[in-house]
Structure 1
C-alpha cells in the first residue's frame, strides 16, 4: 500500500508518492476521461488563445500542459511533488514544456510573471489558505491576462454526501477531508461565492464559468456503450453553463481576467 502524503509545513496537501494513484483512479477511469473531454471542448470557448506562454500551476502529471503545448503554447509546469513531475517529464518529453519543482506559494520567486495566461486546475482545494493562493495567482497575471481556474465545488460535495446517505455530515457541514489518509477528499472545497469575492478583492473579472461533471457522478449505472457515453458528454456540454445546472458541477471552471488599472489605482 502507498503511504499517504503528510501535510506540508504550511498545512497543504501535496501528493508525493501518489502519482500512480492519480494516474489510475483519477485519469484512468470515466471521471477523468469526462473531465478531459469537457476541458477539450470548453477551453477554446472560454479562453482567448493565440499561442501565448502559459504557466500551469500545480500541473501534476501534465495532462493540461500537454493540451496547451500541443496547440503551440510554450508551457512552464510548476508542481511540488517530485514523482508527479518525473512522470510529466516523460509524457511531455517531445513538447515545448519546462519544469519547475515548487509549490504555488513559491510562484513569485520560481516562476515570476507577469504571465499572459495562467492555468490552475484542482489545486486551491488542497491548500490550507486558498484565499492567499488566489491572490498570488492574481498577482502573477499581466494586465489583461487570463486565469483558467478550476476548483472543487463545496456545494456539489454536500449534495453528493446527501445522495450517499451521509445526512448528519451534510447537516453539520463537515465536508472537508483531513489530508492525512488515502482518500482524496479536498481539505478546502470552495463555493462560487468565495471565487466571486476573491476576484473583487484582487481586481479580476469573471468572464465565464462552467460546471464540470454535472450529471456523471449521480448516475445509478455508468454508460455501458459508446453511444450512451457520447450522449452523456453531450448532456454535460449542453448544460454546463446553464442555470441552475452548472452550480452542481463537481468542479467549477472559470476564466478570470486581470483588469487593467490606471497608475492612480495602482498607487492606492
Structure 2
C-alpha cells in the first residue's frame, strides 16, 4: 500500500487491519510494553472502584486489558474495529467472560448503548480524526456514577522525545502528528492534558484521578543493562507516576473520569 490513506478509515481514523504484528511488537514488545502493563496492573486498582461490575472495553486491540478485567471477575464486552485484531483477541481470551464485537467507536451508542457502570478506552483517541467527539460519545455511554478509564498518548511527551532525539525543527514547528501513512505508528491525534480536562468538563465529567505511564523510560539515553536496572526503573516509574511534575511527561496519560450521580428529584 503506497497512498497516504492506506491505513485510514472513511472517517479518517487510523486503523490496524494488516498491522497486528507491527502493533504487537511496537506497543507491547520489549521493556516499554512490559512497563505499560505492569504500571496498569498497579494503577488501575488504585484509580478505579472495581467490584466486578460489567465493563465496556473500547478499542480492545489484542485483548490484554479485557483479560485483566475478566480475571478479576468483570463480565467484559470488548469492541474493536479491526477484524485481524479482534480475531487475535478472541483467541487469547477464549474461556474468559468476554464478549467480542467488531465495531468502531462511533457506532457504540447504537450497538452497545448501556448505560455502563465502567467503560475503558485505552490508547484509542489518539488514532481518531475527531477525538473530542469520541470523548463525547464515551461520556454518553456512562451510567450516572459510572467511571471512564481513559488513556491517551501525550502530545507534550512526544514533543520532549523529539527534542531529546535532536528533531529540533520538528519540535519548533510543532509537527508532531503522524499522517497514517504506511506502517508507521505515530498517532495522528496526540493529546494534551488541557484538551482532556477541557473536553471532560464540556461533557460534565469529573476528573477523579490522573497518572503518567513511562515518565522516564522513553527519555533514557540507553536501556537498562540487566534485570536489577529494569526493576529499579519500574520502581521509579511507579513511584513518580502520580507525582507532579513527573506524571505530566508520561508517554501516556491515564485518567479516571466520573459521570456524577443524577441529583435527587
TM tier, smaller: over 0.9
Which residue of the partner structure matches residue 110 of structure 1? 111
Alpha carbons 1:5, 1:15 under 8 Å: kept: no
Counterparts of 1:216 and 1:204, CA distance in 2: 31
Counterparts of 1:206 and 1:25, CA distance in 2: 30
Which residue of the partner structure matches residue 32 of structure 2? 31
Q: Which moved more, 1:24-33 or 1:106-115?
A: 24-33
- Tell me how far 1:25 sits from its aligned partner: 2.4
Q: Which moved more, 1:59-68 or 1:178-187?
A: 178-187
For residues 71-107 of structure 1, the C-alpha deviation after alignment (integer angstroms, 9 at most, x for no partner) is 0000000000000000000000010000110100001
- Tell me how far 1:23 sits from its aligned partner: 1.8
Counterparts of 1:111 and 1:7, CA distance in 2: 24
- Tell me how far 1:28 sits from its aligned partner: 2.1
Alpha carbons 1:5, 1:13 under 8 Å: kept: no
Alpha carbons 2:2, 2:182 under 8 Å: kept: no
Q: Which moved more, 1:115-124 or 1:163-172?
A: 163-172
- Tell me how far 1:20 sits from its aligned partner: 1.1
- Tell me how far 1:136 sits from its aligned partner: 0.3
Q: Within 5 Å, give how 1:127-166 maps onto structure 2.
A: 127-166=128-167
Count of residue pairs the alignment pairs up: 264
Q: Within 5 Å, give how 1:1-268 maps onto structure 2.
A: 5-262=6-263
Alpha carbons 1:214, 1:245 under 8 Å: kept: yes
- Tell me how far 1:239 sits from its aligned partner: 0.5
- Tell me how far 1:49 sits from its aligned partner: 0.3
- 5+ residue gaps in structure 1? none
Question: Structure 1's 181 and 41: CA in aligned 2 closer, same or farther, altered over 3 A?
Answer: same
- 5+ residue gaps in structure 2? none
Counterparts of 1:181 and 1:30, CA distance in 2: 25
Counterparts of 1:89 and 1:231, CA distance in 2: 35
Alpha carbons 2:79, 2:101 under 8 Å: kept: yes
- Tell me how far 1:223 sits from its aligned partner: 1.2
TM-score (norm 2): 0.96
Counterparts of 1:238 and 1:6, CA distance in 2: 38
Alpha carbons 2:216, 2:237 under 8 Å: kept: yes
TM-score (norm 1): 0.95
Instruction: Tell me the C-alpha RMSD between the 2 structures.
Output: 1.6
